[in-house]
Amino acid sequence: MIKEHDRVVLAATVPTEGLVADDVGTVVHVYGDGQAYEVEFTTLEGKTAAVITVEAAHVRPVGKREITHARERASR
């Protein structure tokens, strides 16, 4: 089960926020019994890029063998 402060991987692109599938964020709030999550996405400098609420089906836990990848965020 995904908990607050867990890192998660976005499953779908959210163009209105400049986010793409596979971006990594941190859960800042869990709604219900994990039915939805509020997730913060930050730049590599630690600045908040977006905070969005997503249904559980739109994020997944980070895998043990996965690594992060840098990309330039599209301007909004």
Domains of the chain listed by start with CATH number = 7-61 (2.30.30)
Is the pLDDT at 75 greater than 70? The verdict is no
| Separation CA 2–CA 59 (nearest Å) | 9
As a whole number of angstroms, the distance between CA 4 and CA 30 comes to: 6
For tokens 């163009």, the residue is 15
Share the mean pLDDT of the chain: 95
pLDDT of residue 39: 98
- Structure confidence at residue 40 as a pLDDT band (50, 70, 90): very high
Among candidates 38, 68, 36, 63, which has minimal Cα distance to 50?
38
SS3 state at 16 = helix
pLDDT of residue 76: 61
Q: What is the pLDDT of residue 74?
A: 75
If you count them, how many residues does the chain have? Answer: 76
pLDDT higher than 90, residue 55: yes
